[in-house]
């Protein structure tokens, strides 16, 4: 009977220890999940603000390109330089999916060349419907160049401040996310700009037309950018977990010296 009591006590102690470990592990998992959710919310807020800034910048750029010959040439040269820089970065192999990024770099180059002919008679005499695809392509190129530059700058600043480690955007899936976000944002910005016929508004009503466009584009830019930023942060968490699992798996492999 005494042995039975001792055995029961050991079993109960072991069960209590296992429950304590399970509770501790569960608490850690809950903490990690909560921290990830908070990080995704913060990323979404920052992304929304950045999306509104991108919307304002792209809209003003489209207006300046369409109504001012000097700025059209200026942005044309700027886009060609950005495209050349992006093509050089792709050629050095610093980004995944070089073919895809090279294609969009060529699109930025085409937009730069397009800026030189916007003041031509054949463009000015085009109808509103015919100009919509033109400004849609231009909007995608402007957004892609701007977003690519911002992401590259953020990666550089993040790496310089935090030391060697994972960048904010580095994986193939994250690059595809940035490309898709730039395409969607640029498409809507150019579409709204062309449909509202902002470029043909006279100087007295240009500000009013721009405000009307911004009221439509701000929510679009903020919402899409917020979702993209949250997804990007989720991808970073998943990649960190996969890296940990891979490291553990490598540590579990026995060397010849272990035998």
pTM above 0.85, yes or no: no
Read off the pLDDT band of 224 (50, 70, 90): very high
Interatomic CA distance for residues 215 and 203, integer angstroms: 19
Q: Do 242 and 180 touch, CB atoms closer than 8 A? A: no
User: What's CA 102's distance to the chain center, in Å?
Assistant: 17
What is the pLDDT at residue 184?
93
Q: Do 69 and 119 touch, CB atoms closer than 8 A? A: yes
Residue 10: enclosing H or E segment and its boundaries? Answer: helix 2-67
Average pLDDT of the chain to the nearest whole number: 75
Q: What is the DSSP string of 116-136?
A: TTTTSHHHHTS-HHHHHHHHH
Q: Do 47 and 136 touch, CB atoms closer than 8 A? A: no
Interval 90-112: pLDDT, tens: 777 666 567 777 787 788 888 88
What is the pLDDT at residue 152?
78
Interval 33-88: pLDDT, tens: 778 888 889 989 999 999 999 999 888 888 888 878 888 888 888 888 888 887 88
User: C-alpha dihedral over 143, 149, 155, 156, to 10 degrees?
Assistant: -170
């Amino acid at each position: 009977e005494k042995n039975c009591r001792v055995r029961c006590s050991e079993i109960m102690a072991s069960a209590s220890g296992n429950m304590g470990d399970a509770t501790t592990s569960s608490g850690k998992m809950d903490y990690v999940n909560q921290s990830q959710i908070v990080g995704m919310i913060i990323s979404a807020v920052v992304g929304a603000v950045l999306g509104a800034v991108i919307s304002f910048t792209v809209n003003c750029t489209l207006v300046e390109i369409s109504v001012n010959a000097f700025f059209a040439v200026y942005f044309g040269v700027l886009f060609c330089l950005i495209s050349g820089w992006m093509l050089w970065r792709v050629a050095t192999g610093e980004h995944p999916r070089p073919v895809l990024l090279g294609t969009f770099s060529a699109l930025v180059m085409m937009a730069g060349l397009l800026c030189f002919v916007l003041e031509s008679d054949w463009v000015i005499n085009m109808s509103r419907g015919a100009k919509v695809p033109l400004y849609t392509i231009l909007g995608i190129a402007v957004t892609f160049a701007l977003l690519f530059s911002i992401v590259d700058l953020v990666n550089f600043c993040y790496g310089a401040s935090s030391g060697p480690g994972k960048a904010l955007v580095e994986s193939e899936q994250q690059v595809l996310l940035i490309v898709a976000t730039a395409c969607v944002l640029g498409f809507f910005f150019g579409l709204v700009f062309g449909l509202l016929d902002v470029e043909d508004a006279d100087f007295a009503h240009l500000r009013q037309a721009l405000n009307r466009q911004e009221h439509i584009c701000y929510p679009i830019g903020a919402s899409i950018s917020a979702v993209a930023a949250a997804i990007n942060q989720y991808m970073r968490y998943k990649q960190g977990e996969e890296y940990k699992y891979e490291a553990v798996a490598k540590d579990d492999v026995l060397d010849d010296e272990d035998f």
